[in-house]
Structure 1
């Protein structure tokens, strides 16, 4: 370092001497005013050009060369820059020199009389390389400019005072291991703040100080390359390389800087996997479940990352398909798993040949050697006390439904797979046979019935049989047993549904009125075959016949023309249905036929209530339920009405002898709202409450118009004419009788006749002078009114009667 500092000082002194010599007043760097002769500012003729035009030469003004100043001046006196001088300066002190521009007055000062320029401070070229200034020469007394203002430059001369600096303090780089010589790693760059256009102060040369012989650096570009072949990451992974940058083209006296490059060798797959052992041995119990782990083997690979990923496989085994091996990607271990059940009594040891190889092989390194390895795996099976094993996975047994109790229907068999061959005890899992239909012999496994079976109730029984070792009751196994109950023809066929039909009164003989079919809960192998026929007890006096269609259906036909509902409204046809199985089963089903009135096309028009409900699809039970509900409702209504009458009304009559049943028919409602005394309902409650002074306004008093009685002729076939005449005559007699007291009367009529002006059928709703009316007493007239209506509203034969 002392030597370098001495060389630097010598170099600086040499440069200072050269600059001072070149800048001396007699060097030609001073300001010169050049003219062509004559006085300052004058022009003169110098001749003519080719065209005869006179030539003139004018004053050229100030001509300045550059001033040069050395940076980093270390002297005690101010550094001399240069001298300004005008031709007009006679040395008498009349000229004053003025300096302006960058640094004028602060960095640079000028002597007004002599024009000498000095630098007042040390200058740094790296801070500012040049300064632009302006100079003028002025007459000190008149302040007139002797010369026009002119510009000149003071340029700072560079010295080598800056060492090279790298762009980074520390560089990091990666290069694959086993790379060839000359493989590029990284390029480093150093810069020098000195002037690159002047000398070699900024010319940098690179060299390697540490890292040889593994790496090299290009001296001009700074590119680092590998210099040694076969660098192995597994041997050494990280390298620290020191690079130097030196200016002055690397010559003596140049300044330098260094940087460190951290180079890491990246991994390549140049190492094969290797088993840690050539023989692995595992001991596993025979009770290991399928898919369970038998053992774990491991191979080592010097590589890392995906280059160390391995695949395992079984290349040989004395138990094909018994085991499989997979790779644990997180640990790269080989996991051996079980694929088939182990059996100590059948095979006690297995031998496997296992191979491992890299998952990602680099073809460049095939020549290094095989990228795989092999090992032997020995698996020893250990004995475990196992539960009994049934000969079959399930059992299917059959038994007829008419089998007697304690009938053996089949047997199961289980044995102890262990060498000790323990005895086995059989039981039935009662959770699968809660009704205790079956049982099993504990010693030989025979299954038998405990009670009679019914296929129509349960066609299948699914039970479980347990097998337990005598020596170890905890060792239990189970097997499903499916018991099928075989069909026996023990059920008679019956109607498929509850048939109810009707026959028209105008029906013809051999007319079909219903098609019937049958059902049977039995299930014969060849399917059902039903036979239909009329019961023998009804064959002699039958009104209907049964025709078997030979397809499990039958027709019900009429045997005569016309039926009379008045004579008989319901017929019951007994039909015998039998099957074709052995033993043959038969039953008698009854078909209900009701007689109804139909039109010519056979459509039912009128039928009794039972027939109508039957056609509507209501069963007898439903009809009974409906009728009971109606009766209960009617009883509630009647009871409520009776209670109300007892609470609000006075007795209708006082004397039992004063009860008269009158049925009055009329077609006159009275005088409407204006006739409030026509029918006083109050008298209906108590005949004694009649006001004698009140007269009926709808009839003429007896004193003025004596009553006229007209003979009444009962209607006959000869003189009735029409029922209307008879009813009208009755109405006139009642209306014209003023002596008829208004006792409890019910004026009803079923026929008003033509031309009646009455719009309602009764005047019972006329307004009265008293309170609420109660019409419950009308219900007792219902049967009598119906009888009277039947008498007068029926046909001619009824009137004759």
Structure 2
């Protein structure tokens, strides 16, 4: 054993250092005695102990036995490398111990290293000793199947021999030993037939074998137990279960339930399902081994019959696909065989001997042909008649020749079965066909110059039978159509072409059609100045523009003649347009506007010019207006007052009006307007005044005001001095303490108490005769006096005294005008 031999080896001697006084001397190799002494280390897996257990004794001859200045050190697998805690060494004596059992299947060997060190210095005294400790194997593992349970579906028609079932097993014990050598065998099977054995391929694999054949009717499932056993001591084994499901196949041929079948069919009739043939099959339904396939073996040489299989009942259905004639045969005998879609399987095992596959089952079928009234038949089913188109009606085109084997031909009546254009009539007694209208070869009912009609001959049998005949009337063409344009509208690309082709067609055939002759229908000679046709003969002609014409539509009258000089007047509309690179007119591009730098500059220049013109107009008009400033009356608060209301107070208190020019708080001096920035304040007070007035008019009782409100009255004052007019608005805000009194007075007015109301009240005056002849003062206006107030300096003798008094009052108060 290699492990024991390795442990008995002595460590190799180390090379001694070369000593010499002269370096040029050659180094000498000296042999030295071994220094490590190691006893045999034997270790068996799963050793029951007891532990710790001594397994070896280490010794090194470089140590002095009398001096205890060295120690042994153990390292490697099982010591300080996993699995750790397996080995231990006595540092003083060198004894090696194993501490626990070892599993060879987990660690098949241990790599161990021995060292001897000086206790004082910790330096090695000798070189390290390393070796591998192999573990002795025991048979502690049974063989294991890769698949301990196997299920296989095997067809019933599988022949005798190897089955597609493979078994594999493995053993974890040491390879190539008795402990891992496996033998397979079939322990048992249920049921016992058919016999299942196995063939072992190697020590790890085996195949099942079938002796005989499967029989689905007897055995549908087999359970086979297979054992795998090793050759170790003691021998260990395991088992696997193989379940074989037998799949039914065609092992039973179909058999007819009756030995003879009979059926009937009327002559000259196609019929499906005149007879159903039933079979019996013991195989599994709706499988290829059960589905029947029928074949007519004999008696169908004329191809009158076919047979098919009903997929649900597996019956054979006999059909008549071709009409039969009772006068030829009255009875037909058929031989029909049946087999399955899947070939029949017959077991050819060695024990069964020489077995042959039986032939398909067959049966005789008799079909009786029942005589019926045969229809009349024409001597020719298709007849050709030739006729010129547009001939006068009344001409006899065809007289049929009819025979009937079952009826008297004198009792046959005739009828038109197909006449789509209604051009024909038929004599019911003789079957003669006459035209009742002119026949047009160009009619849509005529295909390739042939008009097709069908006539029927009906006998007097029971039931009446009808025979048919087709008459093909070939119509010869005449020149009854003039040439016409294929397209009455054409496009002439004016940007690149001067000619456009115009094509013609004629419904007639040669020689009454093309090639055509094209010409202009020019009555006054103006067309030839613009157009000409070249080429003018052919299937199409070329219309050429003689000069450049503006884009648009042009109508060109044409005369087109066929080969017989029969012409037709046509007019083609020529559209002249820009086609670009294509052959059709370009569609008009949508309008888009894009402003470039030049466009934007032009827009700004136009705006600037407009502003300059507007400024010039304002300046011109402004000078005239400054020279004559009219004095207009202020419009007040623009409130419409209803004077016919007798009750309640006035709806609003109007502001005092002055005959002054409204300047919005500005100053007018020497005919020029200077505006002060008091608009905002005046507007605010005015709006506040209106809001308070609206509140007072809509209150029905006295209440507490939640917010402090202020009542504003506006005082207007006008001053005139040294040719100047000053218009000014000042605002006087009443204190909060007067609000209650003011509201009380207003409420009394609303309630109808007008005693203390300073507003206008209705009053009745006595009649004093006719009114004054003087004109009303409403017509007097000083607004036409202009802005010059010099007239106030000389008001006449009536106003001088008043003017002086006012002037003196102004001086006393030191007021500057």
TM-score range relative to shorter protein: 0.3 to 0.5
TM superposition score normalised by structure 2: 0.43
TM superposition score normalised by structure 1: 0.44
